[in-house]
């Protein structure tokens, strides 16, 4: 039975390459992850595909996401990019295809690449479609363009130092899932005294507390880890129940600290 929505946590693969990526994906699946997130730009789709095929987990039981890079947004480029991704991933479809970044400066009209994305779904190349790093205005525009084709998620940066409340609230009010990347703020959560204190109370790690906080907001976290013990710990973070005081203390850590902010980024909300 194919998974019909995003599992509550995913395994991110950004910056994982070679055997490290293969082993990390296989390990994550063996521990119980069923959502693997990759992208053309990560240059690891072949290795992610190897990890999936060698895991012994049936493909239908895995929710696989990839993304289209901003230099492949013209109609034919997008279709070819996705077909190339499928070949590298060793599968005939992905479960979710995201536009990785909106076209910088609207160089490619949104209608063109979203029409291509919708057609890719109609052709069975992807089961669901979504976006990543879209502002609220861009998401609203995308919904109008796609009409009856639902947007499954907007994947954005979320961690205790970047709560991203305006975007998260808007996306969730529309009934769209938020996927939160970099939930550990590339390891910076480990050094925060507030998170350390809450972790001590729960006999947990600051990383687990950060993931539990993201999940408590109804957001799907996709932490990246290569070590099985950390992958297991991240998975177990979903079982942590934070108190209202815990959440309030973590909420106060928000300082709009954006880590992923390249030149191609839109004007953030």
Q: Could you report the per-residue pLDDT of 125-159, keeping only the tens digit for each?
A: 999 999 999 999 999 999 999 999 999 999 999 99
pLDDT at 91: 98
Question: Is residue 238 included in any domain, yes or no?
Answer: no
Question: Is residue 259 included in any domain, yes or no?
Answer: no
Q: Could you report the per-residue pLDDT of 1-13, keeping only the tens digit for each?
A: 567 889 999 999 9
Q: Could you report the per-residue pLDDT of 56-103, keeping only the tens digit for each?
A: 999 999 999 999 999 999 999 999 999 999 999 999 999 999 999 999
CA 244 → CA 160, 187, 194, distances in Å? 15, 24, 14
Total structural domains within the chain:
1
Q: Could you report the per-residue pLDDT of 11-70, keeping only the tens digit for each?
A: 999 999 999 999 999 999 999 999 999 999 999 999 999 999 999 999 999 999 999 999
Question: Is residue 120 included in any domain, yes or no?
Answer: yes
Alpha-carbon Rg of the chain, whole angstroms? 18
Question: Is residue 194 included in any domain, yes or no?
Answer: no
Question: Is residue 252 included in any domain, yes or no?
Answer: no
Terminal CA-CA length for the chain:
38
d(Cα 240, Cα 236) in Å, to the nearest integer?
A: 7
Give the domain range for residue 114.
11-185+219-224
pLDDT at 2: 67
Query: Model pTM?
Result: 0.97
Residues with a known catalytic role: 42
Contact predicate 128/121, CB 8 Å: yes
pLDDT at 4: 83
For residue 56, give the CATH number of its domain: 3.20.20.100
Question: Is residue 22 included in any domain, yes or no?
Answer: yes
Question: Is residue 63 included in any domain, yes or no?
Answer: yes
Q: What is the mean pLDDT of residues 226-247?
A: 98
Question: Is residue 127 included in any domain, yes or no?
Answer: yes
């Amino acid at each position: 039975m194919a998974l019909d929505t995003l599992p509550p946590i995913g395994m991110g693969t950004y910056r994982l390459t070679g055997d490290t990526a293969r082993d990390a994906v296989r390990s994550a699946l063996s521990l119980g992850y069923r959502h693997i997130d990759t992208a053309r730009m990560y240059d690891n789709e072949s290795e992610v595909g190897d990890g999936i095929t060698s895991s012994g987990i049936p493909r239908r039981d895995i929710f696989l996401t990839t993304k289209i890079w901003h230099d492949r947004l013209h109609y034919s480029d997008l279709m070819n990019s996705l077909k190339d991704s499928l070949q590298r991933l060793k599968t005939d479809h992905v479960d979710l295809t995201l536009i990785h970044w909106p076209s910088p400066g609207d160089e490619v009209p949104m209608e063109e690449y979203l029409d291509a994305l919708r057609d890719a779904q109609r052709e069975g190349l992807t089961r669901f479609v979504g976006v990543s790093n879209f502002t609220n205005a861009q998401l609203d525009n995308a919904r109008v363009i796609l009409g009856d084709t639902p947007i499954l998620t907007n994947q954005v940066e979320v961690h205790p130092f970047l709560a991203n409340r305006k975007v998260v609230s808007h996306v969730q009010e529309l009934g769209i899932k938020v996927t939160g990347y970099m939930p550990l703020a590339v390891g910076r959560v480990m050094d925060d005294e507030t998170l350390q204190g809450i972790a001590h109370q729960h006999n947990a790690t600051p990383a687990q507390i950060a993931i539990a906080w993201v999940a408590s907001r109804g957001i799907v976290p996709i932490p990246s880890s290569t070590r099985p013990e950390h992958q297991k710990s991240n998975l177990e973070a979903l079982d942590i129940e934070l108190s209202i005081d815990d959440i309030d203390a973590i909420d106060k850590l928000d300082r709009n600290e954006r880590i992923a902010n390249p030149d191609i980024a839109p004007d953030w909300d």
